[in-house]
Chains A and B, each alone.
Chain A
């Protein structure tokens, strides 16, 4: 069996525009809606059978643009939500020195698979969620699936696609720090269980945003 999964990061959110750590309900800005519409136009050319959307508002709103254009059904899934932020960060500015200090500790803990700072999703937890997400995509009957999701979670998922199920926290942390994800950037992974390798997933495209001009 062969599959292609088209991941789309949500459009610009109010939190993105304000450099804030987002809550679940941060909506798209006007610009975010326009970006989602460009992506929806592009999705018309993709052979997608179904749309999977994270349950967070900014992803739901992005998915609606794509569904309205393509006529495909949206299925909601909490498997593709953004990584859970530490409560101390949510609603605060990313540029605030205290928030940057906490974020740095969280990032370092992620690299080293170290202890939690507070209630954030850590390396062990998010990689379990990625494995469940990949299994969910593998089990869907559709061969071409579009998933609307989030920047950090998508980068972790792409790292897991590249390194397989034995991924190390260092590999994941360095990869996540080393790639960029634009609002409505399109990233594609492939699945082929007839390949002569043990791991069926591979990375095809990262952050193609040609539709933004």
Chain B
């Protein structure tokens, strides 16, 4: 039995500027404060490992939590944000050319389809599977993972639907699920469970933000 506490990173400079984040987008002062709130909350949980994405905003969120609860932190590319189109990195969400490209991507989102250099449906699904397998193989039982909004949704969709996850199911999670900065989602893994060892215990609890 394992419990995975997924934490979305705190508010980043890109979140405030409404631009597509890059790997090095830092937390804002407010983002650091949100990370301190979730760290305080983690102090009440029996955490034995903190994992963080290697991207600055999630890396720093993980580091703030690990320092507060005095638990070792490790960082992995398995938990980075879903890669967008490099052409539009750090460009505004509402850039007309970028919006048009993403509209085409979402309309065709599915097995085998790729627009340019984005992480497509197959890539996202494969990484979610690897990330969940990696978590089940760790020896620690209570793990915090500081990660990202879109990848959290993909990860949860894979936890619920497993290898048979379709593009439509993945897309429903990506488009109709809200997730706050430092929102806490909890997954439980129990091999003895019928049908599916993964269970979504909580999604986007942000009671710590008041």
Residue numbers of A with Cβ under 8 A of B are 161-164, 171, 174-175, 177-180, 190, 197, 199, 201-211
Among B11-19, B113-121, B142-150, B175-183, the stretch in contact with A: B175-183
Within the complex, what minimum Cβ distance (angstroms) separates A14 from chain B?
24
Contact A205-B172, Cβ < 8 Å, known A178-B159, A178-B160, A179-B160: no
Q: A162-B173, A177-B195 are in contact. List 4 more A-B contacts (CB 8 A).
A: A162-B172, A178-B196, A204-B204, A207-B205
Within the complex, what minimum Cβ distance (angstroms) separates A134 from chain B?
13
Interface membership of B202, Cβ < 8 A: yes
A174 CB contacts on chain B under 8 angstroms: 160-161, 196
Determine the distance from Cα of A210 to Cα of B206 in the docked complex, in whole angstroms. 9
Among B160, B177, B206, point to the contact of A203 (Cβ < 8 A): B177
Chain B residue nearest to A163 (CB atoms) is B172
Query: In chain B between 186 and 207, which residues have their CB closer than 8 angstroms to a CB of chain A?
Result: 188, 195-196, 198-207
Contact A210-B159, Cβ < 8 Å, known A163-B172, A180-B199, A203-B176: no
B196 & A162 in contact (Cβ 8 Å cutoff) = no
The count of chain B contact residues (Cβ–Cβ below 8 Å) is: 24
B205 CB contacts on chain A under 8 angstroms: 205, 207-210
B175 & A203 in contact (Cβ 8 Å cutoff) = no
Interface membership of B169, Cβ < 8 A: yes
B176 & A202 in contact (Cβ 8 Å cutoff) = yes
Contact A190-B178, Cβ < 8 Å, known A163-B172, A175-B160, A209-B202: yes
A202 CB contacts on chain B under 8 angstroms: 176-178
Residue numbers of B with Cβ under 8 A of A are 159-161, 169, 172-173, 175-178, 188, 195-196, 198-208
Among B172, B176, B199, point to the contact of A179 (Cβ < 8 A): B199
Determine the distance from Cα of A97 to Cα of B173 in the docked complex, in whole angstroms. 35
B200 & A180 in contact (Cβ 8 Å cutoff) = yes
Determine the distance from Cα of A182 to Cα of B202 in the docked complex, in whole angstroms. 9
A207 & B176 in contact (Cβ 8 Å cutoff) = no
Chain B residue nearest to A42 (CB atoms) is B207
B201 CB contacts on chain A under 8 angstroms: 180, 207
A207 & B195 in contact (Cβ 8 Å cutoff) = no
Determine the distance from Cα of A15 to Cα of B172 in the docked complex, in whole angstroms. 34
**6 A-B Cβ contacts within 8 A?**
A162-B172, A162-B177, A202-B176, A206-B200, A206-B202, A207-B202
B175 & A197 in contact (Cβ 8 Å cutoff) = yes
Among A161, A203, A206, A211, point to the contact of B207 (Cβ < 8 A): A211
A208 & B176 in contact (Cβ 8 Å cutoff) = no
Chain A residue nearest to B166 (CB atoms) is A171
9 smallest CB-CB distances across A and B, nearest first, come from: A210-B207, A206-B203, A178-B160, A208-B205, A204-B178, A179-B200, A202-B176, A205-B204, A180-B201
Chain A residue nearest to B193 (CB atoms) is A177
B198 CB contacts on chain A under 8 angstroms: 178
Within the complex, what minimum Cβ distance (angstroms) separates B164 from chain A?
8
Within the complex, what minimum Cβ distance (angstroms) separates A64 from chain B?
23
A204 CB contacts on chain B under 8 angstroms: 178, 204
Within the complex, what minimum Cβ distance (angstroms) separates B34 from chain A?
15
